[in-house]
């Protein structure tokens, strides 16, 4: 037999084709060769191939490189792919709405305005069962009856002992043992939440850590009486789930220690202080501890997503001559089009007419005579009083500016009347119409009198990812307008090199 022949037979054996001239000897040899080949193949697989790919994935940090602790043999590594951390979504939030059977009939209408039964999770917590219509059952969160708080003492002379029941919403929600919860968000039954923005804000924080996120009051004295470290309950606040679980373990003991506190929110804060978790401030929560017209505050909203509005029964309707519920319905038009941009201020100048124009997108626009610098325009006009009905500037926890007594310095105000999305231009168009005001008695000659302008059109590209970037005020540009009595403005992210100055 020629050596080539043996080789050929071996090849055919390897190929598993036709085994014609097999001898036992050939078979054994072939089997040994086969075994050694598969050994070599496996070693390659185990050493160079897998280590390389592991290192690669380590560098790319899409999986971790862990030594399996149960494996005895050193150097035997395994990969555990990390399921990429999904961004926080609405379904990761559980809302807890503090309500009472007494006010339920009226307050439930506010909840209906923002609650999306298909997309949101949460409960309204009541002291006792209420009658619910079919509509209520479809449009509102399910109702939970809080457990008894009779074992707790309440010793605050002006508050109500329901505060104990309401602060326990956190631990009662934890005890429901719901799946896949990242945040518990508490609010009152007269709080309007802008849920899409809430998701934008909460997704910036690591829900696996301890976070207590909210905002203090607009009224300085309130914060001195309670605390600047307290998240006001009506403004709404968020507690990361691990923190809520930790709080739940000690909350009842903690509540026993503070019978003299006033509300649900100072009770939560007292326990947070014991746990050593400070308040993380998000400027978009609005307790609205104010009386009167919130206009000044909302027309100069901080450069942060709008998260909530509270005291809807206390402040004047957001759109005058419109009911409270109706006003919020109107605000929902721009909210649905571009929630990230809602109430975001932009400031621009018309140098020909010598005007300053301010847009609070989806809510209001203003024209001021003359050139008002941005540092002044971003300060809220005092169109409201504080929680003790004081109008002076020291009453507030933020800088405010007075409405000028000089008619020339008062703004012409235009409020939202309509907002649409134009598919052809891929932009929103919103319309703002002048409200009556007494500022036409001005005799300044250097500025054109804006009194003939009764309507403002604002064009804006939608920017759902606005808050993924560091905060920056949008820019606005005055557009040439062809319509009588109308000015047109374009709003959007500032372009390269675009600065607001004159």
Ligand X SMILES: *[C@@H]1O[C@H](CO)[C@@H](O)[C@H](O)[C@H]1NC(C)=O
Q: Which of residues 267-286 bind ligand X (CB under 6 A)?
A: none
Q: Which residue from 161, 245, 409, 462 is in contact with ligand X, where contact means CB under 6 A?
A: 462
Q: 41 CB contacts (<8 Å, ≥6 apart)?
A: none
Please, which residue, 72 or 445, has the CB nearer to ligand X?
Answer: 445
Residue 452: which of 355, 386, 377 has the closest Cα? 355
Q: Shortest Cβ distance from residue 192 to ligand X (Å)?
A: 25
Please, which residue, 65 or 154, has the CB nearer to ligand X?
Answer: 65
Total residues belonging to the chain: 502
Q: Is there binding between residue 373 and ligand X (CB under 6 A)? A: no
Q: Is there binding between residue 354 and ligand X (CB under 6 A)? A: yes
Q: Which residue from 435, 461, 478, 488 is in contact with ligand X, where contact means CB under 6 A?
A: 461
The Cα–Cα gap between 170 and 98 comes to 10
DSSP 129: -
Q: Which residue from 447, 457, 466, 467 is in contact with ligand X, where contact means CB under 6 A?
A: 447
Please, which residue, 56 or 155, has the CB nearer to ligand X?
Answer: 56
- Give the torsion sign (CA, 133, 135, 136, 138): positive
Q: Is there binding between residue 421 and ligand X (CB under 6 A)? A: no
Q: Shortest Cβ distance from residue 84 to ligand X (Å)?
A: 13
Q: Which of residues 58-97 bind ligand X (CB under 6 A)?
A: 59-60
Please, which residue, 59 or 72, has the CB nearer to ligand X?
Answer: 59
Q: Shortest Cβ distance from residue 44 to ligand X (Å)?
A: 20
Q: Is there binding between residue 446 and ligand X (CB under 6 A)? A: yes
Cα dihedral value 408, 410, 415, 421, nearest 10 = 70
Q: Shortest Cβ distance from residue 370 to ligand X (Å)?
A: 4
Taking phi first (over 0 means left), then psi (-120 to 50 degrees means alpha), and beta for anything else, what does residue 16 get? left
The Cα–Cα gap between 173 and 188 comes to 15
CB 485 within 8 A of CB 495: no
Residue 181: which of 91, 65, 315 has the closest Cα? 91
Q: 207 CB contacts (<8 Å, ≥6 apart)?
A: 88, 92, 182, 183, 240, 241, 242
Q: Is there binding between residue 370 and ligand X (CB under 6 A)? A: yes
Residue 291: which of 258, 314, 325 has the closest Cα? 314
Q: Shortest Cβ distance from residue 371 to ligand X (Å)?
A: 6
Q: Shortest Cβ distance from residue 491 to ligand X (Å)?
A: 12
Q: Shortest Cβ distance from residue 193 to ligand X (Å)?
A: 24
Instruction: Quote the tokens at residue 496.
Output: 């390269």
Please, which residue, 16 or 352, has the CB nearer to ligand X?
Answer: 352
Q: Is there binding between residue 444 and ligand X (CB under 6 A)? A: yes
Binding mask 378-397 for ligand X (x = CB under 6 A): --------------------
Contacting residues toward ligand X, per CB under 6 A: 56, 59-60, 354, 370, 426, 444, 446-447, 461-463
């Amino acid at each position: 037999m020629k050596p080539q022949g043996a080789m050929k037979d071996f090849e055919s054996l390897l190929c598993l084709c036709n085994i014609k001239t097999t001898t036992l000897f050939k078979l054994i040899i072939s089997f040994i060769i086969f075994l050694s080949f598969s050994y070599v193949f496996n070693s390659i697989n185990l050493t160079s191939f897998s280590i390389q790919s592991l290192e690669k994935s380590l560098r790319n940090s899409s999986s971790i490189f862990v030594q399996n602790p149960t494996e005895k043999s050193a150097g035997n590594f395994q990969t555990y792919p990390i399921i990429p951390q999904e961004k926080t979504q609405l379904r990761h939030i559980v809302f807890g709405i503090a309500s009472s059977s007494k006010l339920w009939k009226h307050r439930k209408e506010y909840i209906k305005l923002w609650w999306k039964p298909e997309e949101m999770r949460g409960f309204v917590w009541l002291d006792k069962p209420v009658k619910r219509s079919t509509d209520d059952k479809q449009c509102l969160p399910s109702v939970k009856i809080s457990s008894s708080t009779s074992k707790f003492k309440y010793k605050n002379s002006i508050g109500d002992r329901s505060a104990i029941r309401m602060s326990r919403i956190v631990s009662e929600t934890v005890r429901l043992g719901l799946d896949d919860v990242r945040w518990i968000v508490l609010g009152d039954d007269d709080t309007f939440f802008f849920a899409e923005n809430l998701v934008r804000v909460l997704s910036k924080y690591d829900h696996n850590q301890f976070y207590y996120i909210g905002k203090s009051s607009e009224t300085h004295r309130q914060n001195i009486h309670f605390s600047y470290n307290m998240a006001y309950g009506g403004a709404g606040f968020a507690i990361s789930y691990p923190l809520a679980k930790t709080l739940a373990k000690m909350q009842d003991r903690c509540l026993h220690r503070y019978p003299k506190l006033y509300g649900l929110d100072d009770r939560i804060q007292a326990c947070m202080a014991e746990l050593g978790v400070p308040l993380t401030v998000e400027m978009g929560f609005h307790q609205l501890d104010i009386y009167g017209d919130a206009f000044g505050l909302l027309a100069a909203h901080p450069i942060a997503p709008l998260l909530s509005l509270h005291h809807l029964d206390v402040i004047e309707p957001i759109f005058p001559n419109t009911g409270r519920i109706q006003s919020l319905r109107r605000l929902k038009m721009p909210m649905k089009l571009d929630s990230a941009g809602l109430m975001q201020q932009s400031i621009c100048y018309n140098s020909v007419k010598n005007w300053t124009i301010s847009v609070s997108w989806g809510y209001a626009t203003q024209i001021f005579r003359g050139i008002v610098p941005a540092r002044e325009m971003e300060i809220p006009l005092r169109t409201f009083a504080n929680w003790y009905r004081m109008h002076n500037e020291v009453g507030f926890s933020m800088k405010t500016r007075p409405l000028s007594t000089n008619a020339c310095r008062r703004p012409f105000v235009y409020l939202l009347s309509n907002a649409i999305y134009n598919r052809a231009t891929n932009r929103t168009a919103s319309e703002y119409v002048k409200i009556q005001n007494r500022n036409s008695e001005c005799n300044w000659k250097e500025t054109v009198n804006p009194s003939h302008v009764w309507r403002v059109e604002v064009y804006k590209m939608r920017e759902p990812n606005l808050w993924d970037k560091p905060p920056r005020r949008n820019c606005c540009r005055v557009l040439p307008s062809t319509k009588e009595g109308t000015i047109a403005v374009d709003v959007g992210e500032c372009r390269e090199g675009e600065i607001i100055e004159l």
